[in-house]
């Protein structure tokens, strides 16, 4: 009797625990089935009108139609994307606050800023990669180099004399140039600007020699004959510039530098809700009209799974950590 008196309470406790777990599973499934039942907020960590904002609005509009709820864009710009990221990181992990992250917020800033106010993968749950945007190595037409090899040869013969502009220290445009320097061993002088527009203006005027500019900004000047295209920073040639080689195929094997944008939510999101959010994102990014809208911005729609996206981020962070260290770039 003593033994039975000990066993029965334990059995009842186990059954009670199992029942609670089953209820939790059922309620989680019900939550996922009903998600979303109110508007979602998509935090964009840069100002309205920029590439991140434009792509976020394309995605948000498509998700509205797919999920049946409004997606409200909330621009929180400043500190290289850190202000918006910090705000989004503090949100409840319920799938109603989304975040449009970039190569900066999730692969570069951790190495660039001493005290980052959020953890790129500790606070954020990757949902899907959204789009990839290559940079384009362009030169002023008056310069004597037309190919990657000619640029490398010229830079090695004239150390420190080739100037490359960027939108600022630690930007993808800057670090694309630093990666080029590291992989080729050339000595070029970086000229940082407060934004891409003034850098491009000086390039057009011949005040600086080259830029690794974002494709949407550079291609219009290339088509107008005002800038000379030398190479694309991506792994593959850009469809609208089929005759322009990649830097890798033009003589720097393994070179790849892309600006990318991805959808995040908060860590701790129930798996069923994450799966539903990912499925909706992949579906809309696979729609021809959405891909066409992004292509008009120089971006390539690139949906994937949360696991694939997280692995990609880790690889990117490792790469850019080495580039930041080699360049000595820091932002307080």
Mean pLDDT calculated for residue range 313-321? 95
159 and 146 co-located in one domain:
yes
| DSSP type of residue 76 | -
Q: State how far the alpha carbon of 332 is from the alpha carbons of 116, 225, 313, in Å.
A: 10, 39, 23
CA 124 to chain centre: 13
Domain that holds residue 214: 134-232
CATH of the domain at 266: 3.40.190.150
Dump pLDDT digits (tens) for 35-44.
Answer: 999 999 999 9
Which three-class secondary structure state does DSSP give residue 99?
strand
Enter the tokens of residue 127: 């949902």
Beta strands in the chain (DSSP E): 40-44, 71-75, 97-102, 124-139, 163-166, 189-192, 210-214, 228-232, 258-266, 300-301
When divided into structural domains, the chain yields a total of 2
pLDDT at residue 240 is higher than 90: no
pLDDT of residue 118: 97
Dump pLDDT digits (tens) for 178-232.
Answer: 999 999 999 999 998 887 888 999 999 999 999 999 888 888 899 999 999 999 9
Model confidence at 25, pLDDT cuts 50, 70, 90, reads very low
pLDDT at residue 263 is higher than 60: yes
185 and 319 co-located in one domain:
no
For residue 101, being part of any structural domain is answered with: yes
Model confidence at 80, pLDDT cuts 50, 70, 90, reads confident
Mean pLDDT calculated for residue range 104-114? 92
119 and 106 co-located in one domain:
yes
CATH of the domain at 194: 3.40.190.10
pLDDT of residue 49: 81
For residue 150, being part of any structural domain is answered with: yes
218 and 145 co-located in one domain:
yes
Dump pLDDT digits (tens) for 51-76.
Answer: 889 999 999 999 999 999 999 999 99
For residue 305, being part of any structural domain is answered with: yes
For residue 63, being part of any structural domain is answered with: yes
Q: Please state the pTM of the whole predicted model.
A: 0.80
pLDDT of residue 29: 54
Dump pLDDT digits (tens) for 280-298.
Answer: 999 999 999 999 999 988 8
For residue 138, being part of any structural domain is answered with: yes
pLDDT at residue 135 is higher than 80: yes
pLDDT at residue 143 is higher than 70: yes
For residue 68, being part of any structural domain is answered with: yes
287 sits in which H/E element: none
pLDDT at residue 26 is higher than 90: no
For residue 5, being part of any structural domain is answered with: no
147 and 220 co-located in one domain:
yes
163 and 208 co-located in one domain:
yes
pLDDT of residue 197: 83
Helices (H), 140-241: 148-157, 172-184, 196-204, 215-223
CA atoms within 13 A of residue 216's CA, in its CB half-sphere: 20
pLDDT at residue 306 is higher than 50: yes
Given the DSSP bridges, would you call strands 189-192 and 163-166 parallel, antiparallel or unpaired?
parallel
197 and 170 co-located in one domain:
yes
Q: State how far the alpha carbon of 91 is from the alpha carbons of 35, 52, 64, 67, 170, in Å.
A: 17, 20, 20, 20, 27
Neighbour tally for 265: CB within 10 Å: 25
Q: Is the dihedral of CA 305, 311, 314, 320 positive or negative?
A: negative
Regarding predicted confidence, which is higher, 309 or 324?
A: 309
Q: State how far the alpha carbon of 105 is from the alpha carbons of 255, 261, 277, in Å.
A: 22, 10, 21
For residue 281, being part of any structural domain is answered with: yes
138 and 227 co-located in one domain:
yes
Model confidence at 96, pLDDT cuts 50, 70, 90, reads very high
């Amino acid at each position: 009797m003593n033994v039975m008196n000990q066993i029965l309470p334990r059995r009842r406790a186990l059954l009670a625990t199992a029942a609670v777990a089953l209820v939790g599973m059922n309620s989680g499934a019900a939550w996922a089935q009903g998600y979303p039942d109110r508007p979602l907020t998509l935090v964009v960590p840069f100002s309205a009108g920029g590439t991140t904002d434009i792509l976020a609005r394309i995605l948000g509009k498509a998700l509205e139609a797919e999920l049946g709820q409004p997606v409200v864009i909330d621009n929180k710009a400043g500190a290289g994307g850190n202000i918006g990221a910090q705000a989004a990181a503090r949100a409840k992990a319920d799938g109603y606050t989304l975040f449009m992250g970039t190569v900066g917020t999730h692969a570069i800033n951790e190495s660039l800023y001493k005290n980052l106010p959020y953890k790129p993968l500790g606070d954020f749950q990757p949902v899907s990669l959204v789009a990839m945007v290559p940079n384009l190595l362009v030169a002023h037409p008056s310069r004597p180099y037309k190919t990657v090899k000619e640029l490398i040869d010229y830079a090695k013969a004239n150390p420190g004399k080739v100037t490359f502009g960027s939108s600022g220290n630690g930007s993808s445009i800057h670090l694309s140039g630093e990666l080029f320097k590291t992989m080729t061993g050339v000595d070029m002088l970086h000229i940082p600007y407060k934004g891409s527009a003034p850098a491009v203006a000086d390039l057009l005027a011949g005040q600086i020699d080259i830029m690794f500019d974002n494709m949407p900004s550079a291609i219009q000047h290339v088509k107008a004959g005002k800038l000379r295209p030398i190479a694309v920073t991506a792994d593959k040639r850009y469809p609208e510039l089929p005759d322009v080689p990649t830097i890798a195929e033009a003589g720097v094997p393994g070179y790849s530098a892309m600006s990318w944008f991805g959808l995040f939510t908060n860590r701790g999101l129930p798996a069923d809700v994450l799966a539903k959010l990912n499925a909706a994102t992949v579906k809309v990014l696979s729609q021809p009209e959405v891909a066409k809208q992004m292509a008009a911005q120089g971006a390539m729609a690139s949906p994937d799974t949360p696991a694939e996206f997280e692995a990609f981020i880790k690889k990117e962070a490792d790469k850019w950590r080495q580039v930041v260290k080699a360049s000595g770039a820091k932002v307080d």
